[in-house]
Amino acid sequence: MTQNASNRRNKIGNSVIILFSIIGLIVCIAVLFPQVRHLIINMAGQMLHREIYPEWHKTLFNYALGAICFILFVDYCTLIHSGRMLVKQTKKEITDCLSEIDFRSLLKPVLIMLVVYLLGIFTIIRANYLYIDDMARSIEGYRIWYNWSRYVNELLSIFIHADTNLTDISPLPQLLAAILLSISSVLLVYIICEGKITTTRLLASVPLGLSPYFLQCLSYKFDAPYMAISVLASIIPFLFIARKKAFLFWSVVSLLIMCMTYQVASGIYLLIVAILCFQQWNGRKASNKEILSFAGIALSAFCLAMILFKFFLMRDSAAITYASTAMHPLPHMVSGILTNINQYATTINDDFGLIWKIGIVLVLILFIIKSIHSSLQNRILAFFVSILMIGLSFILSFGIYLLLTKPIYFPRALFGFGVFLAILCIYVVSDFNKIATVTVLALNWCFFVFAFSYGNALADHARYEGFRIEMLLHDLSTLYPNVHEETLAIQLENSMEYPPSIRNISKHYPVIKKLISTRLGEDFDGTHHWLKYVNYPFRIDKETSIDFNALDLPVVLDSYYHTIKSDGIHCLVILKH
Range of the domain at 348: 103-318+327-432
Domain assignment present for 443: no
What is the rounded average pLDDT for all residues in the chain? 90
Q: Are strands 555-558 and 539-541 parallel, antiparallel or unpaired?
A: unpaired
Percent of the chain clearing pLDDT 70 (strictly above): 93
pLDDT single digits (tens) 28-77: 888 888 888 778 777 777 776 666 666 677 778 888 888 898 899 988 98
Q: Is the pLDDT of residue 576 over 90?
A: no
Confidence label for 1 from pLDDT (cuts 50, 70 and 90): very low
Give the C-alpha distances (Å, rounded to integers) separating 256 from 82, 252, 264, 391.
Answer: 25, 6, 13, 26
**Secondary element (H or E) of residue 571:** strand 570-575
464 lies in the same domain as 558: yes
179 lies in the same domain as 286: yes
422 lies in the same domain as 459: no
Domain assignment present for 440: no
Per the CB < 8 A criterion, the answer to whether 205 and 235 are in contact is no
pLDDT single digits (tens) 443-481: 999 999 999 999 999 999 999 998 998 999 889 888 887
Q: Is the pLDDT of residue 235 over 70?
A: yes
178 lies in the same domain as 114: yes
- Domain boundary (399, 432, 465) is at 432
Confidence label for 13 from pLDDT (cuts 50, 70 and 90): confident
220 lies in the same domain as 303: yes
159 lies in the same domain as 236: yes
Domain assignment present for 405: yes
Domain assignment present for 96: no
Per the CB < 8 A criterion, the answer to whether 195 and 244 are in contact is no
Residue, of 498 and 548, whose pLDDT is higher: 498
* H-only helix segments in 375-433: 379-396, 416-429
CA-based nearest residue to 475, from 551, 552, 544, 561: 561
Domain assignment present for 114: yes
SS3 56: helix
160 lies in the same domain as 245: yes
Other Cβ atoms closer than 10 A to 557:
14
Q: Output the pLDDT for position 30.
A: 87
Candidate from 160-164, 273-277, 295-299, 323-327 with smallest mean pLDDT: 323-327
239 lies in the same domain as 278: yes
Give the C-alpha distances (Å, rounded to integers) separating 520 from 211, 447, 461.
Answer: 27, 29, 11
Domain assignment present for 97: no
Domain assignment present for 441: no
The tally of domains found in the chain comes to 3
* H-only helix segments in 122-171: 122-127, 133-140, 151-161
66 lies in the same domain as 107: no
463 lies in the same domain as 427: no
485 lies in the same domain as 367: no
pLDDT single digits (tens) 473-516: 889 888 887 756 666 778 888 888 999 999 999 999 999 999 99
Domain assignment present for 442: no
Alpha carbons 574 and 554: distance in angstroms, whole number: 13
280 lies in the same domain as 217: yes
| Most confidently predicted of 60-64, 131-135, 175-179, 545-549 | 175-179
Q: Is the pLDDT of residue 318 over 60?
A: no
CA-based nearest residue to 315, from 67, 69, 39, 62: 62
Per the CB < 8 A criterion, the answer to whether 237 and 152 are in contact is no
